[in-house]
Amino acid sequence: MPVPVEAGPDAGLTWHFGNPVAEARSLADGQGVVALGNREVVEISGPERLTWLHALTTQHLEALPAGEATTALILSPTGHIEHVLHGVDDGASFLAWTEPGRAADLIAFLEKMRFATRVEITRREDLALHWAGHRVPLDPSWRVRDSELGGVEVFVPEGAELAGTVGTWAFEAMRIAAGLPRIFIDTDHRTIPNEIGLVGTHLDKGCYRGQETVARVHTLGRPPRRLVLLHLDGSQSTLPEAGAPLEKDGRTVGFVGSSARHHELGPIALALVKRSVPVDAELLADGIPAAQEALVDPDVGLHVRPVLG
């Protein structure tokens, strides 16, 4: 019997199907399908789509090969993350997903920046995103992109069959353990790419909005905050709320993003913490004792360990 997620950005998705530990092991073995139908899908077509996106975003896209997965950010003029696209191009159009409730603002921004460029921007409500392990057979006509978590992300057409077998409990635990931040949940309105390991950010391309901040922090080092993996006190029965304060000696030094119970690591979370906090300092995450595992070097803003496959 599927158990639904009751609150938060993934409310309405399946939390688990009765045995989250078995579901987590199936993910680790390259099996399982996770239905992520709340992700919102946008398609950008037209002959100038890649050069246009290349100029707007943090990613190098002008020569993106067909079938190659990519992630791109759109920044504010001061370098803060405003939008994210996780996409793939098939040689005719760029298909991407973004987080729940974000497509309308993303499309409005893209339309504003289109000017006379030969591109068309469409909200694709007829497509639903699924994550599938590499051992799951798929219809070859479906658009897929390699996932940063291993397996693939599949844009499934309305009416097609790809049933979920794994819930968000195991999927989110896998993502958090891999140190892969979810934009808008593990970030806030002040987050710059350097703080999260330059996810979706290419350092060797021309100018784009917010690029000066990214380049300056990368050159000089020492981003204001850094992404960490928190290992939470396993004796606690609760997990921290997303957005809850991260404290050291009674002082707020950051905030908690997403959290989950991992089948091997126990309760874990992602958090953004001030650069000045020692990497070995014990913290309180929403009142729960937590030890840090470094994901981003506090001086240069790059990942210090690879994302798990």
Q: Supply the pLDDT for residue 308.
A: 42
Q: Supply the pLDDT for residue 19.
A: 97
CB 228 within 8 A of CB 294: yes
| Bridge partner residues of 296 (DSSP) | 303
179-294 maps to which CATH number?
2.40.30.160
Write the CB contacts of 6 (distance below 8 Å, at least 6 apart in sequence): 15
> How much is the pTM?
0.95
Write the CB contacts of 170 (distance below 8 Å, at least 6 apart in sequence): 16, 20, 23, 24, 26, 27, 32, 263
**pLDDT averages per 10-residue partition of the chain, 309 residues:** 95 97 96 97 98 98 97 98 98 98 98 96 98 96 96 96 95 97 98 96 93 94 95 93 97 98 97 96 97 90 62
Q: How many CB atoms lie within 10 A of CB 167?
A: 26
Please state the domain extents for the chain: 179-294
Q: Supply the pLDDT for residue 286.
A: 97
Write the CB contacts of 138 (distance below 8 Å, at least 6 apart in sequence): 132, 144, 152, 154, 162
| Bridge partner residues of 266 (DSSP) | 262
Q: How many CB atoms lie within 10 A of CB 181?
A: 24
Q: Supply the pLDDT for residue 34.
A: 98
